[in-house]
Structure 1
Amino acid sequence: MTLLDEARAVRENAHAPYSGFRVGAAVRGGSGRVYRGCNVENAAYPEGVCAETAAIAAMVAAGETELAEIAVIADGAAPVSPCGGCRQRMAEFAGPELRVVMGTTRGSSTAVTLGELLPMTFGSHRSRA
């Protein structure tokens, strides 16, 4: 199963009763292990959680801190890119060469690097981007 397939599968679990916009994400940690996450909306907007954030949190909860690849999928005419907050979260655990695959439930996809998505990363002592 590809990383995009993993994201597609977990998207079905998204809790999106307000927007109806379900998103799935899967990340591959430095160990090669895959972690999945979906968006979880909340009536107390904006207290929801993005799919990418959920997947990264699952990776960290499992004890990994190196992000090797990420895939995100949603329903739309074109692939949807991660929001700015999620881009910054990716930069916390990966460098600018991180491969980011974005896909649609209709079958189209594209891949870019984190450096292309977030060229001027806000740094911390942990950031490698």
Structure 2
Amino acid sequence: MPFISRSLLLKRESREQNVPAYSREARVYPISRTVLVPKYPRIDMPLSWASKDPDELLDYSLNWSQALSGDTIVTSDWAISDSALVENHSTNTSTATVIWLEDGALNQSYTVTNTIETAGGRTYQQSVNIRILSN
């Protein structure tokens, strides 16, 4: 029987890849280290960041522009569910917050919660999960 190549065309981030239809191999795309906070952020529905190695020091950010609806961030505070994952430092712009994370125990998941206050007097919170995996 001759080999018949059937493929599915997938579009992702303006790139095209041919993936054989018969392939049982899963294609996994990395989750971003930047997450867009939904218009109505909820602390009880955590988002997810890309995983990190315990030896890495990486920046992770939240883009609050959609939730702010024209308002701007004045202050940003972070809380981490366990002291094994360490905040090295953090920054913010008028629409985004950034935390630099280091350490963490291998194969553990953590919840990182960002609380912001806006120029309009609003307070928002968003939680994000991160898993520590070896590269």
The reply to whether TM is greater than 0.5 is: no
Query: Which structure has greater strand proportion?
Result: 2
TM-score by length of 1: 0.29
Larger Rg computed on CA atoms: 2
- TM-score of the aligned structures, taking structure 2 as reference length: 0.29
